Amino acid sequence: MNFDELTRFLEKRVQLPMPGHDAHQKMKPTLANGAPLKLKHSTPPRKGGVLILLYEDEGTVRFPLIQRPNYEGIHSGQMALPGGRYEEEDKDQYATALRESNEEIGVDQAKVKIIGSLSEFFVAASNYMVLPVIGKIDFTPQFIPEPREVHDVVTPPISQLVDPIRLKEKEITVRSGFKMQCPYFDLEGRTVWGATAMMLSEMVEILKEFDGS
């Protein structure tokens, strides 16, 4: 994919109606018996923001994903987009995505141009309403992982998202002991599933439009 052509396309495409729920459902995990997993929360969801940061590296368009460290939490060890929860200091969820990406992997907020966003997404497991922000940076960044929050950074080509060979499914046992049947993206040998895969699934549908243009 050509970086300039892709980012110009995205700048226009994010102004139109988004695939949203239909795209999310394609990567939604279920219980091993095929039943949907239903989670209830007693409090309203908190806001958050994550960043899909596009950049060019020797002619290849890439974006960073992080692997969370192992910890006593629901997203322990999982692959994710850089980002986190909204804080009062943030102007909006776009600012959240930029600030958290700076804290987690050292992205210079001033160098990121915001393209737009995908549909806001409810992460049922942690009770967050997350805005996936699309941004671009006009050079190849050097990511600096914050060790308390990031075990590793991987930078797959964006083209891998639309490669059908990368779309797979397997059983995953989550920390609560549930066995889940999970569609996932195999990106750079990493299993990207759950909320991150569901958000990226909307990006996939948009990228398919670009490929066909």
Q: Is 45 helix (H, G, I), strand (E, B) or coil?
A: coil
Pairwise pLDDT comparison (173 vs 7), residue with the higher score: 7
For residues 128 and 155, give the distance between their C-alpha atoms in angstroms, rounded to a whole number: 25
- Is 18 inside a domain boundary? yes
Burial 129-146 (b: 16+ CB within 10 A, else e): bbbbbbbbeeeebebebe
Instruction: Tell me the average pLDDT across 114-118.
Output: 98
Q: Is 42 helix (H, G, I), strand (E, B) or coil?
A: coil
* Number of domains present in the structure of the chain: 1
Asked if pLDDT for residue 212 goes beyond 50, the answer is no
Greatest extent of the chain over all pairs of C-alpha atoms, in Å:
49
- Angle 194-211/3-13 helices, nearest 10 degrees? 100
Mean pLDDT of the chain: 92
Lowest mean pLDDT among 78-82, 108-112, 173-177, 188-192: 173-177
- Is 133 inside a domain boundary? yes
Pairwise pLDDT comparison (35 vs 107), residue with the higher score: 107
- Is 172 inside a domain boundary? no
Asked if pLDDT for residue 179 goes beyond 80, the answer is yes
Q: Which two tokens stand for residue 58?
A: 């020797």
Q: Name, in order, each residue with C-beta under 8 angstroms of 27's C-beta and a sequence gap of 6 or more.
A: 183, 184, 185, 193, 197, 198, 200, 201
Instruction: Tell me the average pLDDT across 167-182.
Output: 85
| Model pLDDT, residue 32 | 75
- Is 112 inside a domain boundary? yes
- Is 98 inside a domain boundary? yes
Asked if pLDDT for residue 75 goes beyond 60, the answer is no
Q: 213 falls in which pLDDT band (50, 70, 90)?
A: very low
* 106: CATH: 3.90.79.10
pLDDT above 70 coverage of the chain, percent: 92
| Model pLDDT, residue 37 | 66
| Model pLDDT, residue 126 | 87
Q: What is the residue type of 89?
A: E
- Is 170 inside a domain boundary? no
Instruction: Tell me the average pLDDT across 51-72.
Output: 92
Q: Which domain holds residue 96?
A: 3-25+40-162+195-208
> Do strands 60-62 and 30-31 pair parallel, antiparallel, or not at all (unpaired)?
unpaired
| Model pLDDT, residue 178 | 76
- Is 167 inside a domain boundary? no
Asked if pLDDT for residue 173 goes beyond 70, the answer is yes
| Model pLDDT, residue 70 | 74
- Is 178 inside a domain boundary? no
